[in-house]
């Protein structure tokens, strides 16, 4: 009997507790919500009294870019290792390591004593040939000289002129000139070295604009175009992003990696980047303007289909949508929504198609996005 009495008392207490919870939580809470809303409706016009509370927001409008990522290497716009064309002894080095140099600047001179002597000898022979050619022409006009003698004098003059040109060319090759504007590297010779033709002297790099070589899979070939922009990051400067532009696409697809080699130009006016750096590349293939964007948490998957709940006149309507790109926790809606639509972002488990809802303020990261 005592056990039965205790069970009866316990059931009675549970019944009283449940009734009190319903009265103060459901009944009184609904009355307070209706009293606070203008005209007895839900706050903010989210729905009629007693609507299911959900978080909602208006769809965003923005640009959506289709991108592909890759890795590549930076190269100098122009790069050459300076080498003399002839052998000789270095008599003068007129550049400093690491300095900028202008096109046509004399960088190095080889011993030119023999070449200058050869030029002077050729000049002396040329002067004599000019005198003899003039004398032969005068004698021929006076009738005392033969045409053969005149022609021989002219031929000798032409040969001596060629000898002078040859001597000047040989003398010019003893000077090493910068072929373009750039920055010099580290020299590999010193004054007094006897060098052979083709000896490495110093490297010259044009770095005001750099080239970037990278590859993308062959399936992107139809969408890659000259003039497309790309974003570049390098480990050496982790807190900065650089821009580049595609200007050349290799017509040959690599049969080993099934990829396309692409080359872009990267401005380097502040001299931060260097040839040889490893680069991470994000290439923008296409950009769609004024696209509709929704948070990922607004999406509801049913099998292979995607849905969102749209709020219309205080009620929710389940709408099938077609999605596009996904970027930064947002999904592009290609079809199914329009600008200005309000969609549910939280509370999906409590709602179904056609039920009335009350829009409540969002909490957490979604509130400030």
Per-chain mean pLDDT for the chain: 84
Residue 99, burial from CB neighbour count under 10 angstroms (0-12, 13-18, 19+) = exposed
The pLDDT > 90 percentage for the chain reads: 50
The predicted structure's pLDDT at residue 6: 63
> According to CATH, what is the number of the domain 85-109+175-200?
2.40.50.100
The pLDDT > 70 percentage for the chain reads: 84
Rounded Cα distance, 354 and 310, in Å? 10
The predicted structure's pLDDT at residue 268: 93
The helices-and-strands tally (H runs, E runs) of the chain is 5, 19
What kind of architecture, by CATH, is found in domain 69-77+206-288? Beta Barrel (2.40)
What kind of architecture, by CATH, is found in domain 112-173? Orthogonal Bundle (1.10)
Residue boundaries of the structural domains of the chain: 54-62+290-360, 69-77+206-288, 85-109+175-200, 112-173
CATH fold of the domain at 54-62+290-360 = 2.40.420
The predicted structure's pLDDT at residue 25: 45
What φ, ψ does residue 235 adopt, rounded to 5°?
-65, -25
Mention every residue, 6+ apart, whose C-beta is less than 8 A from residue 218: 253, 258, 259, 260
Rounded Cα distance, 60 and 227, in Å? 29
pLDDT of 55 over the 80 cut: yes
CA 176, distance to chain mean position in Å, is 36
Secondary-structure percent of the chain, ordered helix, strand, coil, rounded to 5: 30, 45, 25
The predicted structure's pLDDT at residue 324: 83
Beta strand 229-234 with 202-217 is unpaired
The model's pLDDT over 71-124, given as tens digits with 9 standing for 90+, comes to 999 999 999 999 999 999 999 999 999 999 999 999 999 999 999 999 999 999
Rounded Cα distance, 296 and 309, in Å? 13
The model's pLDDT over 112-166, given as tens digits with 9 standing for 90+, comes to 999 999 999 999 999 999 999 889 888 888 888 888 888 898 999 999 999 999 9
pLDDT of 179 over the 70 cut: yes
CA–CA distances in Å: residue 113 to residues 88, 116, 125, 126:
11, 5, 19, 20
């Amino acid at each position: 009997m005592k056990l039965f009495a205790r069970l009866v008392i316990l059931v009675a207490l549970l019944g009283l507790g449940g009734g009190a919870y319903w009265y103060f939580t459901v009944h009184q809470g609904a009355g307070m919500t209706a009293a606070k809303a203008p005209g007895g409706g839900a706050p903010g016009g989210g729905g009629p009294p007693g609507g299911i509370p959900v978080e909602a927001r208006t769809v965003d409008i923005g640009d959506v870019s289709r991108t592909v990522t890759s890795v590549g290497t930076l190269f100098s716009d122009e790069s050459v290792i300076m080498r003399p064309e002839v052998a000789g002894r270095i008599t003068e080095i007129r550049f400093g390591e690491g300095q900028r140099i202008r096109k046509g600047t004399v960088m190095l001179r080889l011993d030119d004593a023999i070449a200058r002597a050869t030029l002077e000898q050729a000049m002396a022979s040329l002067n004599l040939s000019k005198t003899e050619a003039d004398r032969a022409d005068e004698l021929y006009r006076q009738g005392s000289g033969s045409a053969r003698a005149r022609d021989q004098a002219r031929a000798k003059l032409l040969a001596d002129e060629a000898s002078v040109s040859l001597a000047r060319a040989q003398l010019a090759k003893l000077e090493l000139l910068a072929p373009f504007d750039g920055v010099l590297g580290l020299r590999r010779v010193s004054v007094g070295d006897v060098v052979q033709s083709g000896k490495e002297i110093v490297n010259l790099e044009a770095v005001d604009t750099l080239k970037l070589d990278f590859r993308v899979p062959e399936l992107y070939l139809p969408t890659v175009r000259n003039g497309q922009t790309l974003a570049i990051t390098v480990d050496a400067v982790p807190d900065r992003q650089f821009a580049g532009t595609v200007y050349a696409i290799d017509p040959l697809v690599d049969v080993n990696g099934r990829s396309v080699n692409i080359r872009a130009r990267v401005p380097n006016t502040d001299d931060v980047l260097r040839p040889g750096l490893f680069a991470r590349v994000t290439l923008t293939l296409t950009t769609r303007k004024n696209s509709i964007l929704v948070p990922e948490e607004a999406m509801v998957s049913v099998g292979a289909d995607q849905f969102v709940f749209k709020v219309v006149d205080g009620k929710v309507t389940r709408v099938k949508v077609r999605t596009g790109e996904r970027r930064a926790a947002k999904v592009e809606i290609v079809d199914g929504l329009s600008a200005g639509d309000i969609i549910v972002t939280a509370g999906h488990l409590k709602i179904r198609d056609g039920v009335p809802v009350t829009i409540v303020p969002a909490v957490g990261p979604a509130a400030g996005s």
